[in-house]
Amino acid sequence: MKKADVVIIGGSAAGLTAAITARRHYPDKKILLVRKEKLVPIPCGIPYIFGTVGTPEKNLIPDTPLEKNNVEIMLDEVTAIDCGSLSLSTKSNETIQYGKLIIATGSHPMMPPIPGFEKENVFPVYKDVEHLTKMQKVMENAKKIVVIGGGFIGVEVSDEINKLEGKDVTICELLPHCLQLAFDEEFCEEAEKLLKERGVNIVSGSKVVSIEGKTKAEGVKIGDGSVLEADMVIVGIGTVANIDLAKNAGLRLGPTGSIWVDRTMRTSDENVFSCGDCAEKFSFFGGKPSKLKLASIASSEARIAGANLYGVQRESVGTIGVFSSAIGDHSFAVAGLSEKFAKEQGYDVITGVASGPNRHPGSMPGMMPQLVKLIFEKRTKVLIGTQMMGDKAVGELVNVASACIQHKMTIDDIACFQMGTHPALTASPVSYQYVNAAESALLKLS
CATH fold of 2-108+240-307: FAD/NAD(P)-binding domain (3.50.50)
Nearest of 145, 7, 119 to residue 72 by alpha carbon: 7
Asked whether 312 and 31 are in contact (CB, 8 A), the reply is: no
Classify 22 in phi/psi space as left (phi over 0), alpha (psi -120 to 50) or beta: alpha
- The span from the CA of 176 to the CA of 94, in Å, is 51
Identical topology for domains 2-108+240-307 and 322-445? no
Contacts of 192 (CB under 8 A, 6+ apart): 177, 178, 202, 204
The tens digit of pLDDT for each residue in 26-68 reads 999 999 999 999 999 999 999 999 999 999 999 999 999 999 9
The CATH homologous superfamily of the domain defined by 322-445? FAD/NAD-linked reductase, C-terminal dimerisation domain (3.30.390.30)
- Measuring CA to CA, how many Å separate 102 from each of 55, 71, 308, 347, 393? 31, 14, 11, 36, 35
- The span from the CA of 306 to the CA of 33, in Å, is 12
Average per-residue pLDDT for the chain: 96
Q: What's the CATH number of domain 111-237, 3.40.50.920, 1.20.1260.10, 3.50.50.60, 3.40.140.10?
A: 3.50.50.60
CA 362-364-365 angle, 5° bins:
125
Reply yes or no on whether the pLDDT at 446 is more than 80. no
pTM of the predicted structure, to 2 decimals? 0.95
Sort strands 369-377 and 78-82 into parallel, antiparallel or unpaired: unpaired
pLDDT of residue 92: 97
Reply yes or no on whether the pLDDT at 220 is more than 80. yes
The tens digit of pLDDT for each residue in 228-268 reads 999 999 999 999 999 999 999 999 999 999 999 999 999 99
Domain spans of the chain, in order of start: 2-108+240-307, 111-237, 322-445
